[in-house]
Amino acid sequence: MSAQSSQSSNSLRIGICGLGTVGAGTLVLLQDNSAEIALRLGQAIEVVHAATRTLDKERRALLESCGVQQSGTDPFAVVNDPQVQIVVETMGGFDPAFEVVKQALSNGKHVVTANKALLAERGNELFPIAEANNVILAFESSVAGGIPIIKALREGLAANQIDWLAGIINGTANFIMTEMAAKQRDFADVLKQAQELGYAEADPTFDVEGIDAAHKLTIMGSIAFGIPLSFDKTYTEGISNITPEDISYASDLGYCIKHLGIARKTAKGVEMRVHPTLLSKSRLLANVNGVGNAILVHGNAVGATLYSGPGAGAAATASAVVADLIDIGRQLASGSDTPVYPALGYRTLRDDLPILSVEDIESEYYLRIPAVDKIGVMAKITRILQEHDISIEAVIQKEAISEFVPIIILTHQAAEKQLNHAISALEALDVVVGSINRIRVEPFHDEMD
């Protein structure tokens, strides 16, 4: 293993790059739980060097209170510091995070990162660098905050063929949907609160447009199926088109709307998709609220398993960062020269599982059709659905909003391609007066409840 690992020292010496929500949370947690951590690991963890873009008064005070010996604004000073055995990358983003992680790995240092964007989009470059240098690139904190889902998928479920996984994997989006549904609060107002609580990404469009969830799904899908990281093939749709009316109509039908990431192996290939989803209120995932995350994983041997907990926030995410540090510390203490776990859980990644386009999936659908309130409208709509081989499960006409009435239709399972054709045909009808809102419905026939 790395040159640094052979140095003798009483403490595990780490460097931290980035003191935002997660980096600062990691410092505090290492300090608060130092005794417990030392007992678990058999040695103390010492932060010997930290870098932060803005070394302001507040951060100086934090560094001092946590006994950090050296600090500055240059992350490369941390990764090139011979004292540092493990680099914690909590800067986020790509620049300079990519070069910082690459340099650390090339220097033979282990890296713990919370940076899901970096891994999902450039992990295919970074993991081979880690492997070539015989060091670990650990990333438990990059998905679902404090929930140990990476370990569960990679180690706990290693005996299984994973059939599918589905999760609420963005705390901010779940917080917004929960508050909108429960308190009829305004979208912008709830988002502002999520930012103040430290849940949201630096650019909150990553949360509300599904990009953050797609990063996390990309990482989980790769570990679940042994495929290369495929962010650019992950279908991504956010929550910004969901209206309070949709939430209320769905509720009348016995459903709630959750923003889900779904990865499923089918006979045709792998579905990787992030979008708002109608879930029956009786389902486990439907009852995960606020900043909570939860992931259902179905393995062919074990069946359905559920992992839930806080998906964002300083202490919860730091919990996963520090768990990775302890893991690497244990690996170093073992004296073994080879990391025990392949980063993505497979010694050889598959190249025989294509990622399907969303047009190739099948689903049930909720449609909100704005129509004029005239005799014969319903007949025209149902005829078009019939012509496209789409069978209706439920239909309701709501009270008129100004000059139009929303018609809500739930379909049975249909091919997305067919549904797209049907939506185009419906929108071309003279009785349909605007665009149709479509939300996929997930029945989870083999869920455990």
List, by residue number, the catalytic residues: 216
Q: Which of 15, 25, 123, 171 binds ligand HSE (CB under 6 A)?
A: 171
Stretch that binds ligand HSE, among 176-184, 193-201, 360-368, 400-408 (CB under 6 A): 193-201
- With H, G, I as helix, E, B as strand and everything else as coil, classify residue 278: strand
- Residue among 30 and 312 whose Cβ is closer to ligand HSE: 312
- Residue 257 interacts with ligand HSE (CB under 6 A): yes or no: no
Closest to ligand HSE by CB, 208 or 423: 208
Q: How far is the CB of 212 from ligand HSE (least distance, A)?
A: 5
Q: Give a three-class secondary structure readout of 55-109.
A: CCHHHHHHHHHCCCCEEECCHHHHHCCCCCCEEEECCCCCCCHHHHHHHHHHCCC
Mask for 293-312, x = binds ligand HSE (CB under 6 A): ------------------xx
Per-residue CA distances from 94 to 76, 233, 253, 368 (Å): 14, 19, 43, 39
Applying CB under 6 A, the span of 53-61, 195-203, 270-278, 295-303 interacting with ligand HSE comes to 195-203
Residue 311: is it exposed, middle or buried by C-beta count within 10 angstroms (0-12/13-18/19+)?
Answer: buried
- Taking the CA atoms of residue 50, residue 117, residue 329 and residue 31 in that order, the dihedral angle to the nearest 10 degrees is 50
Choose between 46 and 207: whose C-beta lies nearer to ligand HSE.
Answer: 207
Please choose, out of 30-38, 198-206, 225-233, 437-445, the segment that lies near ligand HSE by the rule CB under 6 A. Answer: 198-206
Of 168-176, 230-238, 355-363, 369-377, the window that binds ligand HSE (rule: CB under 6 A) is 168-176
Q: What is the secondary structure of 358-404 as a DSSP string?
A: GGG-EEEEEEEEEEE--TTHHHHHHHHHHHTT--EEEEEEPPPBTTE
Instruction: Return the structure tokens found at 154.
Output: 């990679």
Is residue 324 a contact point for ligand HSE (CB under 6 A)?
Answer: no
Select from 2, 113, 170, 331 the one that contacts ligand HSE (CB under 6 A): 170
Contact 260, 441 (CB under 8 A): no
**DSSP assigned state of 156:** I
Q: Does 179 contact ligand HSE by CB under 6 A?
A: no
List the x/- string, 199-228, binding to ligand HSE by CB under 6 A.
xxx-----x----x----------------
Q: Which residues bind ligand HSE (CB under 6 A)?
A: 145, 170-172, 199-201, 207, 212, 311-312
